[in-house]
Amino acid sequence: MRNLLALLCLGLLLAGCQTAPRRPAPPDLIGTAAPAGFPASVRLVTTDQKNFAVLAPAFFSGLRDAVATDGSLDILALSGGGSGGAYGAGALAGMTRAHARPRFEMVTGVSAGALLAPFAFLGPDWDARMHDAFTGERSAELLRSPARNILSRLLSPRGLPHHNALFKLVDHFVSPQMIVAVAREAASGRRLVVATTDLDKHETVLWDLGEIARHGGEKARALFRDVLVASASVPGVFPPALIRVREGGEEYDEMHVDGGVTTSVFSTPLIAGIQSTDLPLLRGAHLYMIVNGQLARTPRTTRYNTVDILANALAAELTYKTREAVVDNIAASHRLGMQFRLTEIPVDYPQANFIDFDQAQMQALYDYAADCAARGLLWLTPEQSVRRNMATQHAPVSDAPACPAAAPASSP
C-alpha cells in the first residue's frame, strides 16, 4: 500500500508532462462515427433520440422473437463492483445448481458486470469458465498490477493498454468460441448490451455485443474484447481503451473507460424513459438485478492516506449511483408492471475494497453467493432492500453472514 501511495504521488508530479499518443476525437456529440468495419448500429449514445428511434424497432422485435421460445421476457442487469463481480458469478452458478436460472432474453452489464455479462448470456455451459475468470489466477493478477500499471503508464504510455492484466484477462476469455456462441444466441433475437463511458463526450455509450459478434472473425473478437476492457477500466487503476472509429472518410480515436463513471447499472437505455413511457414488450417482464457490491456499509475508519481516501470516495460514489439506479428501476417496473427482483452483498458481509482482487476472498464471495442461490435465499424485492439498507442501525460485519433473503430485515 505504501508503494502504491508513493507511485500515486509521483504520478501527480509527472502527469502534467505526459500525453498518450492518439488521434483526435470525433468532433460531433451525436454523429455517425462507427468502429472501423462496423455499422453505427452496434452502439448508441444514451442521449441520442434520433438513433434510438431508428434502432428500437429492430432491437425490440428481436426480443419478441426470443420471448416466443418460452413465453416470458427475462432481463438480467449486472452492476459494477470491481472484485465484487465474484458475487454475481457465484449467484449465477448457484441458480444453475438449483435449476432456477432463466434463459435471459436480455443481459446488460457495466464494469465488472460487463465482464460477467457474456457468461450470464451464454448460460450454464459456460459456468466453469466463468468461475475461472472471476476466481482464478488471472483475476488474482489484477491485485498485483495496479501499482505497476500506474507507474508504467505515466512513464511510457505507448502500447501499454494491450499489456496490462485486465487486457490479458479479457483477451484470454473472449475466445473465438465465445464470439461464435454469442453470435448464435443473438441471431435468435436475444440481446447482450454493455456500457462504457466516452471520456471525450462525457457520455454513456451502450454496445450491442451480439451484433458485434454476428460480424464474425478476428475484427469482431477484437472489438468485443476492447469494449469489455473499456467498460471495466477504472480510471487511475487501468488505462483507458482507445477505439478507432471512422466518420466522413476520416479516422478518429475515442477514449473509453469504466461504464460505472456515468452509470452503475441499467435495464433499458436512458433515452427509453425520456422518449416513451410505454414499451409494450416490457410489460410483465421479469427483471433481475445483481448488485456486485453493498448498498450500505458498516462504518470503518478510513486511514489518512491518498489511496484509502480515493478508494473509499469511488466506492461511495458507486454506492449512491447504484441506489439511484435501483430507485429508477423501481419506478419503471411499477409503470410497466414488471416483476423486479434484486440481490446485493449484505451489509454484514466482510467485503474488502472493490479493487482488492485477492484470490481467496473472491473465491469465498463466489461460494457465499452460490450457496445462497442454491438454497433459494438470494433474491429480495427492491423495496425490501431499500428498507433494510435505510435502517438506523446495521449489524456488525460477521464471519458468517446470513444470505440476503434470510436477513430478518428483508421480510415484508
Residue of 91 and 354 predicted with greater confidence: 91
Residue 396 domain flag:
no
CATH of the domain at 247: 3.40.1090.10
Catalytic residue ranges: 111, 258
SS3 130: helix
Whether residue 21 is predicted with pLDDT greater than 80 in this model: the reply is no
Whether residue 410 is predicted with pLDDT greater than 50 in this model: the reply is no
Work out the number of other CB atoms within 10 angstroms of the CB of residue 248: 11
Report pLDDT for 181: 98
Nearest to 66 by CA among 31, 41, 102, 17: 102
pLDDT tens figures, 138-175: 887 876 654 444 444 444 444 445 668 899 999 999 99
pLDDT tens figures, 193-210: 999 999 999 999 999 999
- Range of 47-51, 317-321, 386-390 with top mean pLDDT: 317-321
Residue of 156 and 69 predicted with greater confidence: 69
Q: Are 361 and 83 in contact (CB under 8 A)?
A: yes
pLDDT tens figures, 103-136: 999 999 999 999 999 999 999 999 999 999 999 8
Domain region containing 312: 24-391
Domains contained in the chain, number: 1
Residue 408 domain flag:
no
Report pLDDT for 186: 96
As a whole number, mean pLDDT of residues 353-377 equals 91
Residue 13 domain flag:
no
Residue 370 domain flag:
yes
pTM of the model: 0.88
Residue 2 domain flag:
no
Residue 16 domain flag:
no
Residue 49 domain flag:
yes
Whether residue 311 is predicted with pLDDT greater than 70 in this model: the reply is yes
Whether residue 408 is predicted with pLDDT greater than 60 in this model: the reply is no
DSSP code per residue over 131-155: HHHHHSHHHHHHHHSHHHHHHHHHH
Residue 9 domain flag:
no
How far apart (Å, rounded) are the C-alpha atoms in residues 192 and 107?
5
